[in-house]
Amino acid sequence: MLNFTPTILKNLLSKSSTRLYPFETREPFKNVRGELKINIEECKLCGICAKKCPVNCIKVDKKTGLWEVNPFECVYCGICVDNCPTNCLYFKSEYQTPNQTKHLKTFHKIEKN
Ligand code: SF4
Ligand code: SF4
């Protein structure tokens, strides 16, 4: 026990090595792939993102103007972002927040006359 005393005292008196998440979060790294977002006004509902997505978590319906993603199935590979012809898809630097229920993110494009 005496052998551990200096280590115990050091740990008690030094700063914590971990953060009090979720109250304290780390600054995200540059270019991190966080939450997937869409600028729906720029989207032309071509469906390329849905066709290219390896896990089929994007749904596009041109007739109803729907663009939908399941953020809990997304693997954040970035293929949809890289292949979008209008560059309306992008990643935020913050990660998708944890949730008790898995919900879809749905957007509707309103066509301008
Ligand atoms: S690839 Fe881009 S423009 Fe085409 S449906 Fe997807 S988000 Fe919209
Ligand atoms: S980042 Fe990858 S997995 Fe996520 S929606 Fe885009 S293509 Fe699909």
Q: Does residue 112 register a pLDDT over 90?
A: no
Q: What are phi and psi of 52, to 5 degrees?
A: -85, -20
Residue whose CA is at the smallest distance from ligand 1 atom 4: 46
Domains and CATH numbers, the chain: 28-108 (3.30.70.3270)
Q: What are phi and psi of 89, to 5 degrees?
A: -100, 140
- What's the pTM? 0.82
Residues 6 or more apart in contact with residue 77 via CB below 8 angstroms:
54
* Cβ(81) – ligand 1 distance below 6 Å: no
Residue whose CA is at the smallest distance from ligand 1 atom 7: 43
Radius of gyration of the chain (CA): 21
Task: Render pLDDT for 61-90 as a digit per residue (tens, 0 to 9).
Answer: 999 999 999 999 999 999 999 999 999 999
| Structural element, H or E, at residue 65 | none
Q: What is the Cα–Cα distance from 58 to 43, expressed in whole angstroms?
A: 13
